[in-house]
């Protein structure tokens, strides 16, 4: 493979005046967001106020999950201070010179560190974004490299963010399960015999940066995908770019709003629900004048490498059929990174 010319290396994207061919996507009309004149454009994923009574939010969350596989939340208990802190940390990181960022590049095997979107290998064209993944404790060494004098405070922000997000993810999962008529206790988190169930860390954080782009309509920040999670909680800076896909509506913008978080159903929840709720297909577009930051908390529940995930028996019902076979998280991840958007077909039982 020819080496990537330095000027089109991730991290230098914001300095480019024209869109290099390797970043130019052939987008069709089906890829566009519905024009503003269309009635459907008014709809987007609902905002649900988590301070409402439980039975109300459970109902609304259930509807949103069935319809969209996604929803937004207000009054979720994550302080604005913490959201501002992690956003500002991300900005400082991505503002650093490319050489510095590349010192923290994810190694071939490790998942923590700086780099292109993981899904890049499935697409011919390059995406207009860079990211930093925090999946295990090795991010701390990267932070020492990036911030020799301020890594302690920045690690504190990450740990606090992970703790708060994990609590919120558990709460959301209970509500979503509630809307399906089951509880967390109905999930059989099986374990492959003989395995210790090593924990890979329940939640990862992905900091995403989408630099200003000379030709945003022909570029792609992050291509269409579903998340390989139970659910993902996303904080977006005040520049739009996130779009979700629904068969009936096409691509729909999810405009940012201060303090509002986006929740995406991931593939693992789709499996747990026996296909009752979809994992949402989403992507990120880029902007001509403004750069954008998003912070994704990718939550896999108690999914250590060897924990088995399968449709919840109570959801299947006594006469129903399981749509998917049981898979461990590790196995599903391998399937996903081999066949990408055909992963459900690979584990389907009928």
Ligand X SMILES: O=C(O)CCC(=O)C(=O)O
The SS3 assignment for 6 reads helix
Phi and psi angles of residue 264, each rounded to the nearest 5 degrees, phi first: -110, 130
Tell me which stretch binds ligand X (CB under 6 A): 24-32, 108-116, 234-242, 269-277.
Answer: 234-242
Question: Which residues are within 8 A (CB) of 126 and not within 5 positions of it... i.e. 6 or more apart?
Answer: 8, 22, 23, 116, 120
Tell me which stretch binds ligand X (CB under 6 A): 176-184, 236-244, 301-309, 324-332.
Answer: 236-244
Q: How far is the CB of 258 from ligand X (least distance, A)?
A: 16
Can you point out the beta strands (E) in 230-322?
231-236, 242-246, 250-253, 261-265, 281-284, 292-299, 307-309
Distance CA 303, CA 199 (A): 7
Q: Which two tokens stand for residue 169?
A: 């993810």
Q: Which two tokens stand for residue 346?
A: 């690979």
Choice between 85 and 227, CB closer to Fe ion: 227
Residue 268: count other Cβ atoms within 10 Å of its Cβ. 22
Q: Which two tokens stand for residue 287?
A: 């902007």
Q: Which residues pair with 131 in a beta bridge?
A: 115, 208
**List 61, 73, 205, 296, residue binding ligand X (CB under 6 A):** 296
Which of 16, 54, 92, 90 is closest to 174 using CA atoms? Answer: 54
Q: How far apart are the first and last CA of the chain?
A: 40
Residues that bind Fe ion (CB under 5 A): 227
Choice between 88 and 191, CB closer to ligand X: 88
Q: How far is the CB of 286 from ligand X (least distance, A)?
A: 10
Q: How far is the CB of 294 from ligand X (least distance, A)?
A: 3
* CA trace torsion 246, 250, 251, 256 (10° rounding): -60
Choice between 58 and 294, CB closer to ligand X: 294
Choice between 227 and 267, CB closer to Fe ion: 227
Choice between 61 and 242, CB closer to ligand X: 242
User: Residue 162 binds which one of ligand X, Fe ion, none, with CB within 5 to 8 A depending on kind?
Assistant: none
Q: Is 134 in the site for ligand X (CB under 6 A)?
A: no
**List 90, 133, 274, 294, residue binding ligand X (CB under 6 A):** 294
Tell me which stretch binds ligand X (CB under 6 A): 85-93, 139-147, 188-196, 235-243.
Answer: 235-243
**List 242, 263, 265, 309, residue binding ligand X (CB under 6 A):** 242
Distance CA 276, CA 294 (A): 28
Q: How far is the CB of 251 from ligand X (least distance, A)?
A: 13
Q: Is 227 in the site for ligand X (CB under 6 A)?
A: yes
292 is annotated as an active-site residue: yes
Q: Which two tokens stand for residue 137?
A: 């404790």
| Residues written for the chain | 350
* Catalytic residue, candidates 202, 292, 348, 350: 292
Task: Express the helix, strand and coil content of the chain in percent, nearest 5 each.
Answer: 35, 20, 45
Q: Which two tokens stand for residue 81?
A: 């201070």
User: Residue 242 binds which one of ligand X, Fe ion, none, with CB within 5 to 8 A depending on kind?
Assistant: ligand X
Choice between 59 and 253, CB closer to ligand X: 253
User: Residue 206 binds which one of ligand X, Fe ion, none, with CB within 5 to 8 A depending on kind?
Assistant: ligand X
Binding mask 184-223 for ligand X (x = CB under 6 A): ----------------------x-x-------------x-
H or E element, residue 329: helix 329-339
Q: Are 126 and 40 in contact (CB under 8 A)?
A: no
Tell me which stretch binds ligand X (CB under 6 A): 74-82, 105-113, 233-241, 300-308.
Answer: 233-241
User: Residue 219 binds which one of ligand X, Fe ion, none, with CB within 5 to 8 A depending on kind?
Assistant: none
User: Which amino acids are annotated catalytic?
Assistant: 292
Instruction: Give me the residues that bind ligand X (CB under 6 A), please.
Output: 206, 208, 222, 227, 234, 236, 241-242, 282, 284, 294, 296
């Amino acid at each position: 493979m020819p080496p990537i010319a330095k000027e089109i290396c991730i991290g230098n994207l914001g300095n480019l005046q024209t869109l290099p061919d390797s970043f130019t996507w052939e987008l069709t009309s089906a890829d566009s967001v519905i024009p503003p004149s269309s009635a459907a454009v008014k709809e987007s994923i609902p905002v649900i106020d988590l301070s409402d009574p439980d039975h109300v939010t459970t109902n609304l969350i259930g509807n949103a999950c069935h319809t969209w596989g996604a929803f937004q939340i207000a009054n979720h208990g994550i302080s604005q201070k913490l959201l501002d802190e992690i956003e500002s940390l991300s900005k400082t990181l991505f503002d650093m010179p490319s050489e510095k960022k590349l010192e923290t590049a994810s190694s071939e095997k490790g998942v923590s560190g700086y780099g292109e979107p993981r899904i890049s290998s499935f697409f011919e064209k390059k995406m207009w974004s860079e990211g930093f993944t925090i999946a295990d404790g090795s991010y701390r060494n990267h932070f020492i490299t990036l911030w020799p004098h301020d890594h302690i405070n920045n690690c504190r922000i990450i740990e606090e963010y992970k703790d708060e997000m994990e609590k919120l993810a558990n709460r959301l999962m209970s509500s979503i399960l509630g809307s399906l008529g089951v509880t967390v206790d109905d999930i059989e988190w099986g374990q492959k015999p003989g395995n210790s169930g090593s924990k890979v860390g329940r939640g990862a954080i992905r900091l995403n940066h989408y630099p200003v782009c000379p030709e945003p309509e022909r570029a792609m920040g992050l291509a269409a995908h579903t998340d390989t999670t139970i659910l993902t909680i996303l904080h977006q800076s005040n520049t739009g770019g996130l779009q979700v896909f629904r068969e009936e509506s096409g691509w729909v913008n999810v405009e940012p709003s201060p303090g509002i978080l986006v929740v995406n159903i991931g593939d693992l929840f789709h499996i747990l629900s026996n296909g009752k709720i979809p994992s949402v297909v989403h992507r990120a577009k880029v902007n001509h004048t403004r750069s954008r930051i998003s912070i994704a908390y990718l939550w896999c529940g108690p999914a250590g490498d060897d924990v088995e995930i399968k449709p919840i028996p109570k959801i299947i019902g006594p006469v129903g059929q399981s749509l998917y076979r049981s898979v461990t998280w590790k196995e599903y991840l391998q399937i996903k990174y081999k066949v990408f958007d055909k992963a459900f077909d690979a584990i389907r039982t009928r």
